[in-house]
Structure 1
Amino acid sequence: MGLETKRLKLRLINQNDIDDFHNLHSIAEVDHFNTLGIPVDLKDSKKILDDLLKDQESGSYFTFHIELVEETKFTGFIALKLGAFKFQAGEVWFKLLPEFWNKGIASEALAAVLKFGFGELKLHRIEAGCAVGNIASARVLEKAGMQKEGTRRQALPLKTGWSDNHQFAILSSDYYANDE
């Protein structure tokens, strides 16, 4: 299964993505707003990737490997984690290599995942959160039509200490109203 946009190809992750996964999570700039932390070694990254793959197999998680179509070059990951079926909701996150920041890659990938979530999965609501200092990610979420609903106080254990977390969401009705 995969998603495509004008510039990007998104495909579900697999075991072969371990090097990309480990390298991305080992970059200090990427770790700055990340609660995962820098992996100790490749074995540590493999454990995290294996957990994501188990969730993916259960159908509750879709983690996509993002690459540029023209260059077949890895740029990052984006995921949609499903909540309880009753709520028809999901949560998105994304992480890119710093060389691809501020190039519209996250926005384009997020648009594809929202389309998948609302169109194919028939979700009612998709949420996201980001540390209050992560202005670039907040812009990506707002650009996608997500609304800031509030701020959770000291919710994120970052390396620099506890951070407040902005909560964003978009409803299917918002998505389709913006799509017209």
Structure 2
Amino acid sequence: MLLTTSQLHLSEIVTNDIKYIHALNSLPEVDEFNTSGIPESLDETQNLVLGWIDSQKKEPKERYTFSIVNKETNEFIGIVGLKMGKPNYRSAEIWYKLFPKTWKKGYATETVKEILRFCFNELKLHRIEAGCAIGNIGSIKVLEKCGFIREGQTRKLLPIRDNWIDNYFYAILEEDHNK
């Protein structure tokens, strides 16, 4: 499956993406708000990604995970995922990670907007949720630019580097998106 924006191609991840995902997940800047921590080895990343690929094959799909590639340079710049909720809820949770050199260039916003289009128009979902650490200003800006509403804050939810960090939770509904 291929989703396309003005600057990006989003395609479901494949095994060839493992080395790029490992490089992305190994960067301290990317790990700053990551609850999983930096992978200890390429094998650890491979096991994680192979699990994502397997879950993309199930029906109904449990998740979608897309590579984000710059159309002009053909460079892998990040990943975006959807963890599907129970079918009767017609919901999913979105997450994303991009290489720091691509931050503040609009790629994350463009990616999330395309995923929302896919969720609401093609998957016919009702609600998309997202969470982020309260200090993750970049992610907060992306979510709010894309129309997500901050619904609340969960105290000390995220285990990040031996600390418990508060989390904002966001959501956007189909009717919010189609306004």
Which category of TM-score, normalised to the shorter sequence, fits these structures? Answer: over 0.9
Q: Residue 26 of structure 1 aligns with which residue?
A: 26
Q: What are the ranges of 5 or more consecutive residues in structure 2 without an aligned counterpart?
A: none
C-alpha separation between the residues in 2 aligned to 1:148 and 1:132? Answer: 11
- Give the superposition deviation at 1:160: 5.1
Q: Residue 162 of structure 1 aligns with which residue?
A: 164
1:65 equivalent among 64, 67, 83: 67
- Give the superposition deviation at 1:69: 0.2
Q: What are the ranges of 5 or more consecutive residues in structure 1 without an aligned counterpart?
A: none
Deviations 1:42-74 (A, max 9, x none): 111111111111211111211010011010011
Across the aligned residues of Structure 1 and Structure 2, the Cα RMSD in angstroms comes to 0.7
Q: Residue 14 of structure 1 aligns with which residue?
A: 14
Deviations 1:82-104 (A, max 9, x none): 10001000000000000000100
C-alpha separation between the residues in 2 aligned to 1:45 and 1:16? Answer: 12
Deviations 1:8-62 (A, max 9, x none): 0000001111100100000000001001110001111111111111211111211
Aligned residues: 177
Q: Residue 150 of structure 1 aligns with which residue?
A: 152
C-alpha separation between the residues in 2 aligned to 1:71 and 1:36? Answer: 30
C-alpha separation between the residues in 1 aligned to 2:51 and 2:8? Answer: 25
Q: Residue 177 of structure 2 aligns with which residue?
A: 175
Q: Does 1:83 align with 2:85?
A: yes
Q: What secondary structure, in the 3-state scheme, does the structure 1 residue paired with 2:104 have?
A: coil
C-alpha separation between the residues in 2 aligned to 1:66 and 1:172? Answer: 24
